[in-house]
Amino acid sequence: MRVKVKYEKFLPVLTMAKKQKIYVLDTSAILSGKPINLNDVDLVTTSGISDEFTPGGRDYKIFQFLKEKGLTIHSPSKDSIEKINAVSKKTGDLSRLSKADIELLALSLDMSKDEENEVVILTDDYSIQNVANALNIKFESMSQSGITKRFKWTCRCRGCGKNFKENIKICPICGAKTKNIVSGKKAILK
Ligand SMILES: [Zn+2]
């Protein structure tokens, strides 16, 4: 009897120590062809990403294979989509993210709210990585090296040199074209 009590006392500690690892896959991760370690890992993606794979092609076979291996499809909450919109506007990534990218980030945010989950986004997209980092969500790159610096995009006018936070193509002051520059680099601690 005494042994049982002791065991129960330790049980919550043991449960907390083991987090469930969840890989959130974007299209680039699915198509990378790189082996994904499937042991003890949940694979998830969004319906938006799923829609990018239409029956018939080679890509669809890869997608089907992952589904057979346990890849599940989820829809993110509206709250999280709004949050991603707000955060990516701040980092300057909003115009670089597709609807599917935003949903993927929102789903990752939803899943990281459960403290028992260890969420990792698998993506080669720098803007997804940048927003994920701003939200303290982990990411892993499949083929590229992955960003090591958190960065902020700014638009600079080629004519008068004024900087704009918004992604605008034509300068409202002098009418010249703008270019994208990176500002505010900050090292990411991995
Ligand atoms: Zn200008």
Enter the DSSP assignment of 19: P
Q: 28 CA distance to ligand 1 centroid (A)?
A: 36
Question: Distance, CA 152 to ligand 1 centroid (Å)?
Answer: 20
Find out whether 188 and 177 touch, Cβ atoms under 8 Å.
no
pTM, entire model:
0.70
Average pLDDT of the segment spanning 140-165 = 75
**Mean confidence (pLDDT) of the chain:** 82
Position 163, amino acid: N
What number is the average pLDDT over the span 65-77? 90
Whether the per-residue pLDDT at 3 is higher than 50: the answer is no
pLDDT at 78: 97
What pLDDT score does 176 carry? 92
Q: CA 106, CA 83: separation in Å to the nearest integer?
A: 8
Of residues 149 and 21, the one with the higher pLDDT is: 21
Q: If pLDDT is split at 50, 70 and 90, which confidence band does 4 have? A: very low
138 vs 14, residue with greater confidence: 138
How far, in Å, is the centroid of ligand 1 from the Cα of 93? Answer: 22
pLDDT at 77: 97
C-alpha 149 – ligand 1 centre gap (Å): 28
pLDDT of residue 32: 75
CA of 168 to the centre of ligand 1 (A): 11
Q: How far apart are CA 72 and CA 82, in angstroms?
A: 23
Question: Binning pLDDT at 50, 70 and 90, where does residue 127 land?
Answer: very high
Query: What is the pLDDT, as a whole number, of residue 108?
Result: 98
Kindly give the distance from the C-alpha atom of residue 161 to the centroid of ligand 1, in angstroms, as a whole number.
6
Q: Stretch 133-152: mean pLDDT, rounded?
A: 75
CATH number of 20-146: 3.40.50.1010
The values of phi and psi at residue 24, to 5°, are: -100, 115
pLDDT at 36 exceeding the cut of 70: no
Q: What percent of the chain shows pLDDT beyond 70?
A: 78
Strand partners, 25: 122
Q: Would you call 140 exposed, middle or buried from its count of C-beta atoms within 10 A (0-12, 13-18, 19+)?
A: middle
Domain locations in the chain?
Answer: 20-146, 148-190
pLDDT of residue 174 exceeding 90, the answer is yes
Q: Give the pLDDT score at 184.
A: 61
Residue linked to tokens 């703008």: 178
